[in-house]
Amino acid sequence: MASNNDKRSKTEKVIMVTGASGLVGRAIQAVVAEETSRPEEKFIFLSSKDADLVSEEETRLLFEKHRPTHVIHLAARVGGLFANMKYNLDFFTDNLKINTNILNNAFKFDVEKVVSCLSTCIFPDKTTFPVDETMIHNGPPHPSNFGYAYAKRMLDVMNRCYKDQHNCKFTSVVPTNVYGPWDNFNLEEGHVIPGLVHKVFTAKRDGTPFYIWGTGSPLRQFIFSRDLAKLFLWAIREYEEVDPIIFSVGEEDEITIKEAADLIVEAFDFKGPVILDTSKSDGQRKKTAENTKLRKYLPDFKFTPIKEGIKETVDWFVENYDIARK
Ligand code: NAP
Ligand code: GFB
């Protein structure tokens, strides 16, 4: 395979972002558009329309076409608790194929750095809290999403193997639950915040009750997509370790599902009945993660307060109802 970029200047970076049409990818696009321009960086934002990354051949053609020097790898089969419970096999096989194809081609095409995306839901379920980066493989993940979790864990294994055998700089970051504009607001497929936003919207419009699924007592740390986008850009530019790094708000910012729902009710100024549907699953009780490593690198990083992030997400959904995934 010809080396990457014989014609390219040594300082030029071609940063290819897979999954750029999704929640996190859209936020990266927005942050890049707002940043002071960096002429040495060229971004290529991709969606599944550019290539189905499950296909080895389509993935190879993508690398051949764009010849990236750097890859932010977001593309994945993604879903909330209920989608994971229904499609554990698909979440495992699709993600394993996508990740294998991306890293294999990154190696073949001499990519300098790949930053892939794990998730705090892949940590062992039965563990001490808070979890940190050293604990990913210490025991089985929660059964609701074991397919997705094991596929994501293998990304970390592959990163270490590529380093060991070929000295590649392929690494990963571990965000907590993400939310923001451009999320998937579909109730069957999506995560809790977009689901709750969609349900309050409908309840307010139709004068019906708002149903929160489960007991409302599980705990989550939520990160706003724009904050995560800034951290991804830092990682592709500055983070040099192969070991993963957790991208999380502090442990003190962990809230219950009910508290998240209350913030959404407040953002909509919804006055109707709020009902907990305890016939639905609660999923994992908690997955509290620490951000000590992140704080060592970026002690002054400011996270968006969740009240502000939720208001922005609600306003985005109301304004973009016609185009939102729902
Ligand atoms: P998302 O909104 O569902 O976006 C998924 C992206 O992946 C879309 O751009 C989609 O393209 C692309 N994609 C899916 N299957 C593909 C395929 N076979 N070939 C090519 N592209 C494909 O997901 P997200 O929430 O932004 O997730 C981004 C990353 O963050 C993922 O790796 C996810 O595991 C991770 N993560 C997410 C959360 C969360 O709470 N959302 C938490 C932790 C980690 P189309 O738009 O064309 O379909
Ligand atoms: O975001 P979520 O679907 O997934 O949140 P996880 C699930 C929690 O929210 C459960 C409650 O306690 C649900 O009972 N919930 C309440 C709702 N109302 C709703 C609703 O309308 N929609 C949804 N989806 N939940 C996911 C993993 O776990 O975390 C994925 O399954 C993923 O693999 C993601 O990586 C970050 O936080 O439980």
Closest to 172 measured CA to CA, from 134, 132, 116, 119: 116
- pLDDT tens for the chain, 326 residues long, are 344 444 556 689 999 999 999 999 999 999 999 998 899 999 999 999 999 999 999 999 999 999 999 999 999 999 999 999 999 999 999 999 999 999 999 999 999 999 999 999 999 999 999 999 999 999 999 999 999 999 999 999 999 999 999 999 999 999 999 999 999 999 999 999 999 999 999 999 999 999 999 999 999 999 999 999 999 999 999 999 999 999 999 999 999 999 999 999 999 999 999 999 999 999 999 999 999 999 999 999 999 999 999 999 999 999 999 999 99
Q: How many CA atoms lie within 13 A of 244 on its CB side?
A: 31
Strands 219-220 and 255-256: antiparallel
Instruction: At 76, list the tokens.
Output: 């994945």
CA dist 178 and 117 (Å) reads: 12
For each of the domains in the chain, give its residue range(s) and CATH number, in order of start.
13-180+221-251+288-304 (3.40.50.720)
| Distance in Å, CA 231 to ligand 1 centroid | 17
First-to-final CA distance of the chain: 43
Closest to 107 measured CA to CA, from 13, 1, 9, 19: 1
Q: Decide: 42 and 15 in contact? Cβ < 8 Å.
A: yes
Q: Which ligand 1 atom is at minimum distance from the Cα of 75?
A: 7
The residues near 39 (Cβ < 8 Å, ≥ 6 apart) are: none
Residues annotated as part of the active site: 148
Q: Is 130 left (phi over 0), alpha (psi -120 to 50) or beta?
A: beta
Q: Is 192 close to ligand 2, i.e. is its CB under 6 Å away?
A: yes
Please state, in angstroms and as integers, the Cα–Cα distance from residue 135 to each residue in 66, 116, 156, 287, following that order: 36, 18, 12, 12
> If you search the block for the tokens 């997705």, which residue do you land on?
148
CA dist 126 and 15 (Å) reads: 38
Q: What is the pTM of this model?
A: 0.96
In this prediction, residue 7 carries a pLDDT of: 53
The bound ligand whose nearest atom lies closest to the alpha carbon of 285 is: 2
Closest to 200 measured CA to CA, from 266, 254, 259: 266
CA dist 303 and 148 (Å) reads: 27
User: H helices within 50-145, ranges in order?
Assistant: 56-66, 81-86, 88-108
| Distance in Å, CA 194 to ligand 2 centroid | 10
Q: Is 243 close to ligand 1, i.e. is its CB under 6 Å away?
A: no
In this prediction, residue 11 carries a pLDDT of: 81
In this prediction, residue 36 carries a pLDDT of: 86
| Distance in Å, CA 213 to ligand 2 centroid | 9
> If you search the block for the tokens 């593309």, which residue do you land on?
75
Q: Is 119 close to ligand 2, i.e. is its CB under 6 Å away?
A: yes
Burial (CB < 10 A; 0-12, 13-18, 19+), residue 253, is middle
Instruction: At 134, list the tokens.
Output: 């050293």
| Bond before 175 cis per omega within 30 degrees | no
In this prediction, residue 8 carries a pLDDT of: 59
Overall size of the chain counted in residues: 326
The amino acid that residue 37 corresponds to is: S
> If you search the block for the tokens 């004068």, which residue do you land on?
207
Instruction: At 4, list the tokens.
Output: 């990457």
The residue whose CA is least distant from atom 23 of ligand 1 is 22
Element holding 114 (H helix, E strand): strand 113-117
The residue whose CA is least distant from atom 35 of ligand 1 is 117
> If you search the block for the tokens 């990740």, which residue do you land on?
99
The amino acid that residue 13 corresponds to is: K
